[in-house]
A and B are shown apart, each in its own frame.
Chain A
Amino acid sequence: DTAVSQTPKYLVTQMGNDKSIKCEQNLGHDTMYWYKQDSKKFLKIMFSYNNKELIINETVPNRFSPKSPDKAHLNLHINSLELGDSAVYFCASSQRAGAYNEQFFGPGTRLTVL
């Protein structure tokens, strides 16, 4: 009965590869997010979707492409992985868009690029 789930939990890959991280929420929320947490634990928003529509894109390289097939899923595809992409990626969801809405976070995906 996990509210926000992500797969995989760990991802180790070589530079230049393409990889995807999947996120699903079973809360019936309209809005989903991707965050990147760097090695210093700094958490920064990357993207947000509301009802499958992109509403936030925070100056993320074009190599990152989110896709929302339905409002319960928000996947993150990364092309041509670089060393600097190594981080923990968190998916989150909220009932609606708007900063006053509580965000529920997934357990994170630790990406290591070698």
Chain B
Amino acid sequence: AQSVTQPDIHITVSEGASLELRCNYSYGATPYLFWYVQSPGQGLQLLLKYFSGDTLVQGIKGFEAEFKRSQSSFNLRKPSVHWSDAAEYFCAVGARGYSTLTFGKGTMLLVSP
């Protein structure tokens, strides 16, 4: 069975600084990988996804993520954080032939002025 680890429960970043949120997965084959964002009181919104091909994927709101098979990682990055980016971020993994996603426990991003 697949699993997802987000090692950081919360991260604080200054506005304008760069951001990297970590995600490690466990799965025997090439997984489907996703990053979702949840703003306070809202549902989850897809930021980006990776299925195959170019290992650097671009998403909405200026986010990108890089798939590194050797490290079983799919870290989310943004070069310059805005106060509106403060939210909970979830990494998720899916497997071929299955319908479900397995979510990590989330990383809360706090943005300081």
| Chain A residue nearest to B46 in the complex (CB) | A102
Not counting A41-B106, A42-B105, a sample of 9 additional A-B residue pairs whose C-beta atoms are within 8 angstroms of each other reads: A41-B108, A43-B106, A58-B100, A90-B44, A92-B44, A98-B98, A102-B34, A103-B101, A105-B45
Number of residues from B at the complex interface, CB < 8 A: 24
| Chain B residue nearest to A50 in the complex (CB) | B99
In chain A, residues 97-114, which have Cβ atoms closer than 8 Å to a Cβ of chain B? 97-100, 102-108
Check A103 against B99 for contact (C-beta < 8 Å): no
Check A107 against B88 for contact (C-beta < 8 Å): no
The answer to whether the Cβ of B28 comes within 8 Å of any Cβ in the partner chain is: no
Query: 0/1 per residue, B28-62, Cβ < 8 Å to A?
Result: 00001010100001111110010100000000000
Contact count band on A: 20 to 34
Using a CB–CB cutoff of 8 Å, the interface residues on chain A facing chain B are 4, 31, 40-45, 48, 50, 55-56, 58, 90, 92, 97-100, 102-108
The answer to whether the Cβ of B74 comes within 8 Å of any Cβ in the partner chain is: no
